[in-house]
Structure 1
């Protein structure tokens, strides 16, 4: 087991309605739906985990929602697929708002780049309760983000760049600044 440290980061993300509308591709939300989203938000807030991890010399920000949130979203599919899609979007937004609160540069860049899943990082996230999937290509929690801390740049440093339409240059808005010392190829 690799040595790592973990620090709980206290956040209370606010519900960013503009982001929710964008992620859910909705142009209006009625009162009943908004009430359901507010209830979910309040219910899920205690199940949000935000950690600063230091594995070797590299620091990361890990944000995820419990598996029980996934079960909540899955349960809505039985009654209303459109509400379930919106609930899933809400869970994504909660994670994104927490990341943006800790690393505001992510919101400006439009991306929280994924780090290379080193053995130490894989082991640390397993220990923390947000493991990678079996082949260490993605986190096993459906609503989760792992990124560098502090912010080092966006698409140009992302481990998933070759598989991402935005990072592979198919999106003209994909560029960001790279902080000195964090150029590609420097771990």
Structure 2
């Protein structure tokens, strides 16, 4: 059992259509599809978890959608792959909007850096119901994110930096670093 504290964070994200369009790479969404997206957003909102964790001396924010949402997206694949792709994008956007609401600096930086998954953090996330994969390298939930809380910086502190296309220079990797959180000061 991990030695950590956990606090529920109150969040009710709004549907950011611009972000949904960007994530889904859609240039147009018709009314019927928009109605479905709004229905799913309302249906999934109660399944959104946001927890502030303190593991040792380090604080994290974890945001994820429960297995009910994963099942919904999987079931939509049986009906319509294009609708399922958009539904999966919607679930990603819900997590991102919640994170942006709780840590606005993430939106400004364009990245929520992944922390190094220590044994204590892996155990804590297991207890919270959002476990890491068997290798202990990434969260096993399809729609989940964990990052430092409060914001410490973006790409330059990310555990996944070596595998990230943004950090390797294939995309803009501009970021801000708060004083005291410069590389090597952990």
TM-score range, shorter chain: over 0.9
Question: Is 1:175 matched with 2:174?
Answer: yes
Secondary structure, counterpart of 1:179 in structure 2:
coil
- Residue ranges of structure 1 left out of the alignment (5+ in a row): none
Instruction: Confirm or deny: 8 A CA contact 1:156 1:175 kept in the other structure.
Output: no
Q: Determine the C-alpha separation between the residues in 2 that align with 1:107 and 1:70.
A: 25
Question: Is 1:101 matched with 2:101?
Answer: yes
Runs of 4+ in 1 over 4 A off after TM superposition: none
Residue 137 of structure 1: how far off its partner (Å): 1.2
TM-score (norm 2): 0.98
Residue 68 of structure 1: how far off its partner (Å): 1.3
TM-score (norm 1): 0.97
Q: Determine the C-alpha separation between the residues in 2 that align with 1:116 and 1:153.
A: 14
Residue 170 of structure 1: how far off its partner (Å): 2.2
Show the 5 A alignment for 1:1-187.
1-171=1-171, 173-187=172-186
Q: Determine the C-alpha separation between the residues in 2 that align with 1:177 and 1:42.
A: 34
Instruction: Confirm or deny: 8 A CA contact 1:105 1:151 kept in the other structure.
Output: yes
Q: Determine the C-alpha separation between the residues in 2 that align with 1:142 and 1:107.
A: 21
Q: Determine the C-alpha separation between the residues in 2 that align with 1:45 and 1:70.
A: 13
Q: Determine the C-alpha separation between the residues in 2 that align with 1:70 and 1:97.
A: 18
Superposition CA RMSD, Å: 0.8
Q: Determine the C-alpha separation between the residues in 2 that align with 1:167 and 1:186.
A: 20
